[in-house]
Structure 1
Amino acid sequence: MDVSNNLGSAFNAGVQGLQSASDGITESSVNIARAQTERENVERSEPAPETREAQSQPVNVTEELVNLRVEQFNAQANTRSIQTADEVLGTLIDVRV
């Protein structure tokens, strides 16, 4: 069994998962900001051109907040897997040296 390939795979999976969580956080944050902009435009009764298309699919802020929390947990889990791979690598280096 090649330990370096397995550690590399663990690092890569953790980094990819962390990037995916970051993308999800960004998407939910943008959707929440869009909902706020739409709400302000409705209060002013001035629909902005860029939000007219968005009005056909209203943003569910509660759902986006839940998505943010889920992505936070995903980021934490992937960070822990990266930390674990790092600790294993450190232990292997200590044993081999």
Structure 2
Amino acid sequence: MQIQSAFAAGMQGLQRASAGITEEAVNINRQTQQNRSIEQTAAAQATAEPAAAATTSPAPVDINQSLLRLEQQQLQGQANVRSLRTADEMLGSIIDVRV
């Protein structure tokens, strides 16, 4: 059984958090664009047919879940940075070298 070093585990977690942040940022951008498109379509329908626009316009996309996942990824990244710092300090203490 092979055990990962603290540095490798911290770096791997930091890379996963970075990828998650990128993914959620793309999702938020996509959802914002969809909401903007829905608002523009609804505004165009409201000026053309005021009575029909209220009943046929789709609901805006909720971005709260993506924002929540973005915050979670940020916290995971911060936790992995702390583990990297701790591993660095421990290694410095073990070999009695501090930079």
Q: Structure 1 length normalisation: TM-score?
A: 0.76
Q: Distance in 1 between matches of 2:80 and 2:36?
A: 36
Is 1:60 aligned with 2:30? no
Corresponding residue of 1:50: none
Q: Is the 8 A contact 1:11 1:85 kept in 2?
A: yes
What does residue range 19-34 of structure 1 map to in structure 2 within 5 Å? 19-34=22-37
Q: Any gaps of 5 or more consecutive residues in structure 1? A: 47-57
Q: Which has the larger radius of gyration?
A: 2
Q: Is the 8 A contact 1:11 1:82 kept in 2?
A: yes
Extract structure 1 runs of 4+ deviating beyond 6 A: none
Q: CA RMSD in A?
A: 1.7
From 66, 83, 88, give the equivalent of 1:88.
83
Summarize the Cα distance change of 1:32–1:15 in structure 2 as closer, same or farther, 3 Å threshold: same
Q: Is the 8 A contact 1:32 1:59 kept in 2?
A: no
Q: Structure 2 length normalisation: TM-score?
A: 0.74
Deviations 1:35-67 (A, max 9, x none): 110011112229xxxxxxxxxxx6431xx12xx
Q: Is the 8 A contact 2:18 2:73 kept in 1?
A: yes
Summarize the Cα distance change of 1:5–1:59 in structure 2 as closer, same or farther, 3 Å threshold: farther
Looking at secondary structure, tell me which structure has more helix per residue.
Answer: 1
Is 1:39 aligned with 2:45? no
Deviations 1:18-47 (A, max 9, x none): 11111111111011100110011112229x
Q: Percent identity?
A: 7
Corresponding residue of 1:14: 17
